Amino acid sequence: MRSLSTASAPSGGTTIFTEMTALAHRTGAVNLGQGFPDTDGPPAMLEAARAAIAAGANQYPPLDGVPELRTAIATQRSLRYGTPYDPDTEIMVTTGATEALTAALLALCEPDDEVIVLEPYYDSYAAGVALARARLRTVPMRPDSTGRFRFDPADLSAAITPRSRLVLVNSPHNPTGTVLSLQELAAIADCCHRADLIAVTDEVYEYLTYDGVTHIPLASLPGMRDRTLTISSAGKTFSATGWKVGWVCGPARLIKAVRQVKQYLTFASGTAFQHAVALALRTQQHWVADLARQLQTRRNQLRASLTAAGLSPFACQGTYFLQADIRPLGLTDGFRFCRSLPGQVGVAAIPSAAFYRDPEAGLPFIRFAFCKRPEVLDEAARRLTSLRSTPCQEVE
């Protein structure tokens, strides 16, 4: 059988998110592992989904997605970032960002082509690269003196070889919370121009940035629109991770290549949800802005709790996630720590090593999700204080 396991799937072939959510259920732990909100998205969007079902939007949508949603995505990209796309030829709705990412890799990579990613990276990237029989080249991100993870542009340049095909960029970045700056994006764009690379960007946390930091799409940099596939999703923006409505925007020739693969993955999905997301994109921007403000407060709440528990949190400019270093507790193995934490302390987290090709590189880091109600974060904080008195034993 084909194995797609990375460090994230060491046991039983499931992802680390599935493993930790199952462990949280078994132990009754507060689940700050898998990144999903515990409250619903905008009521108007939920009502629009119900209304669409009642109105009979229950059969296949068009392969590219319902026109109403493609038009709403085009308007959003144009108004927010100044990057216009033709809804008929340059936008495709997908089954979550995950399908868009995998279809893009399958469509654009030949066997042994190299895909450059910043490490740590979201687990589906390595699986998508493996499915395409391509190769992953990693560029390390490391924490600076402020706790912000960053890459060295020299490492990026050094990762380019004659087999480089595309660079896959995630910003805001899971799990580090880094939002790439204009300067960092310009370094990536420069490499794309020099080595004639395609860029694929994962922008699923595009709205979830904090402290006045703004998200800049790589496609908005000079000359990049025509070599970039931009991927996003309604899951995080509208707190509807289970709806799996995603999309990909880009020049018609790249979208055409992705379409050919996507039609044989799912063909299409979620007609009623697509209508509801179209409405949300058009009318619920105020709701999303409010969500980002609330998440900033919750990040601060979680950061204070982790510090109080004796952990050392890193910086977080965006996403749902805050990483922490467990070494101040005298521990070094995040995998073992995260497998012990639910049973011993009653909180679930994700070992960041699952986001590394070489797990050693991220071993002492763990990731907490703060997209939870304040009272849930309070309960987690209360439980985590026991780490100070009885440090968690790492179990196998």
Out of ligand GLN, ligand PMP, none, what residue 298 binds, judged by CB under 5 to 8 A for its kind, is none
Out of ligand PMP, ligand GLN, none, what residue 61 binds, judged by CB under 5 to 8 A for its kind, is none
Out of ligand GLN, ligand PMP, none, what residue 235 binds, judged by CB under 5 to 8 A for its kind, is ligand PMP
Which residue, 241 or 352, is less far from ligand PMP as judged by CB? 241
Closest contact distance (angstroms) between CB of 271 and ligand PMP is: 17
Which residue, 35 or 61, is less far from ligand GLN as judged by CB? 35
Out of ligand PMP, ligand GLN, none, what residue 15 binds, judged by CB under 5 to 8 A for its kind, is ligand GLN
Closest contact distance (angstroms) between CB of 263 and ligand GLN is: 23
Residue 138 and residue 168 in contact, taking contact as beta carbons nearer than 8 Å? no
Q: Does the bond joining 120 to the residue before it have cis omega, within 30 degrees of 0?
A: yes
Closest contact distance (angstroms) between CB of 330 and ligand PMP is: 30
Out of ligand PMP, ligand GLN, none, what residue 64 binds, judged by CB under 5 to 8 A for its kind, is none
At residue 166's C-alpha, the angle toward residues 160 and 170, to 5°, is 105
Which residues pair with residue 347 across a beta bridge? 30
The closest residue (CB) to ligand PMP is 96
In angstroms, the CA 227 to CA 232 distance is 17
Q: Please pick, from the candidates 19, 31, 35, 318, the single residue that binds ligand GLN as defined by CB under 6 A.
A: 35
Closest contact distance (angstroms) between CB of 235 and ligand PMP is: 4
Closest contact distance (angstroms) between CB of 139 and ligand PMP is: 16
Q: Please pick, from the candidates 83, 95, 174, 344, the single residue that binds ligand GLN as defined by CB under 6 A.
A: 174
Out of ligand PMP, ligand GLN, none, what residue 233 binds, judged by CB under 5 to 8 A for its kind, is ligand PMP
Closest contact distance (angstroms) between CB of 246 and ligand PMP is: 4
Which residues pair with residue 322 across a beta bridge? 368
Residue 191 and residue 163 in contact, taking contact as beta carbons nearer than 8 Å? no
3-class secondary structure, 181: coil
239 touches ligand GLN (CB under 6 A): no
Distance between first and last Cα of the chain: 26
**For residue 320, what are the CA distances in angstroms to 299, 324, 344, 363, 390?**
8, 14, 24, 21, 28
Which residue, 174 or 305, is less far from ligand PMP as judged by CB? 174
Out of ligand GLN, ligand PMP, none, what residue 83 binds, judged by CB under 5 to 8 A for its kind, is none
Q: Total number of residues binding ligand GLN (CB under 6 A)?
A: 5
Closest contact distance (angstroms) between CB of 41 and ligand GLN is: 16
If residue 383 lies in a helix (H) or strand (E), which one and from where to where? helix 374-384
Closest contact distance (angstroms) between CB of 298 and ligand GLN is: 15
Cβ neighbours of residue 80 closer than 8 Å, sequence gap 6 or more: none
Q: Closest by alpha carbon to 151, among 124, 134, 133, 171?
A: 171
Question: Is residue 267 classed exposed, middle or buried when 0-12, 13-18 and 19+ CB atoms within 10 A define those classes?
Answer: exposed
Out of ligand PMP, ligand GLN, none, what residue 313 binds, judged by CB under 5 to 8 A for its kind, is none
Which residue, 233 or 284, is less far from ligand PMP as judged by CB? 233
Phi, psi at 97, each rounded to 5°:
-65, -30
Question: Is residue 240 classed exposed, middle or buried when 0-12, 13-18 and 19+ CB atoms within 10 A define those classes?
Answer: buried
In angstroms, the CA 215 to CA 226 distance is 20
Residue 354 and residue 123 in contact, taking contact as beta carbons nearer than 8 Å? yes
Strand 312-313's sheet: what is its strand order? 312-313, 321-325, 365-369, 350-351
Closest contact distance (angstroms) between CB of 78 and ligand PMP is: 22
Q: Which parts of 15-34 interact with ligand GLN (CB under 6 A)?
A: 15, 17, 34
Q: Would you tell me which residues interact with ligand PMP (CB under 6 A)?
A: 96-98, 122, 170, 174, 202, 204, 233, 235-236, 241, 244, 246
Question: What is the contact surface with ligand GLN in residues (CB under 6 A)?
Answer: 15, 17, 34-35, 174
